[in-house]
Amino acid sequence: MTINEIQDEIIEDFELFDDWEGKYEYIIDLGKKLPPLDEQFKTEENIIKGCQSVVWLHAFEKDGVIHFVADSEAIIVKGLVSLLTKVLSEQKAEDILNADLYFIEKVGLAGHLAQTRSNGLAAMLKQMKTYALAYTSKELKV
Partner 1 sequence: MERTKAIIMHQDFVEQIRKDFPILEQKINGKPLIYFDNAATTQKPKQVIDALTDYYSGYNANIHRGIHHLAEKATSAFEETRKAIARFLNAESSDEIVFTYGTTDGINLVANTYGEAFLSEGDEIIISTMEHHSNIVPWQMLCEKKGCVLKVIPMSDAGELLMDEYDKLLSERTKIVSVVYASNALGTVNPIREIIEKAHAYGAVTLVDAAQATSHIRIDVQDLDVDFLCMSAHKLYGPTGMGALYGKRALLDKMPPWRGGGEMIKEVTFAKTTYNELPYKFEAGTPNIADVIALKTALDYVENIGLEKIAAHEQELLDYATESLKGISGLKIVGEAADKVSVISFVMDGIHPQDIGVILDQQGIAIRTGHHCTQPLMQRLGIVGTSRASFAVYNTKAEIDGLVAGLHKAKKFLL
Kindly tell me which of 58 and 78 has the beta carbon lying closer to partner 1.
Answer: 78
Burial class (CB in 10 A: 0-12, 13-18, 19+), 38: exposed
92 φ/ψ angles, rounded to the nearest 5 degrees: -70, 145
Contacts of 46 (CB under 8 A, 6+ apart): 56, 57, 58
Query: Is 76 near partner 1 (CB under 8 A)?
Result: yes
Cβ at position 16, least distance to partner 1 in Å: 17
Cβ at position 31, least distance to partner 1 in Å: 9
Kindly tell me which of 38 and 73 has the beta carbon lying closer to partner 1.
Answer: 73
61 is catalytic: no
Cβ atoms of 45 and 37 within 8 Å: the answer is: no
Site for partner 1 in 15-54 (CB under 8 A): 20-21, 24-25, 28, 52-54
Cβ at position 73, least distance to partner 1 in Å: 6
Which amino acid, residue 15? E
> What gap in Å lies between CA 128 and CA 138, rounded to an integer?
15
Query: Is 140 near partner 1 (CB under 8 A)?
Result: no
For 87, what's the count of Cα atoms within 13 Å in the CB-facing half-sphere? 24
Contacts of 4 (CB under 8 A, 6+ apart): none
Site for partner 1 in 81-110 (CB under 8 A): none
Kindly tell me which of 16 and 140 has the beta carbon lying closer to partner 1.
Answer: 16
Cβ at position 27, least distance to partner 1 in Å: 9
Q: Which residues are catalytic?
A: 51
Report the interface residues with partner 1, using CB under 8 A: 20-21, 24-25, 28, 52-54, 73-77, 117-118
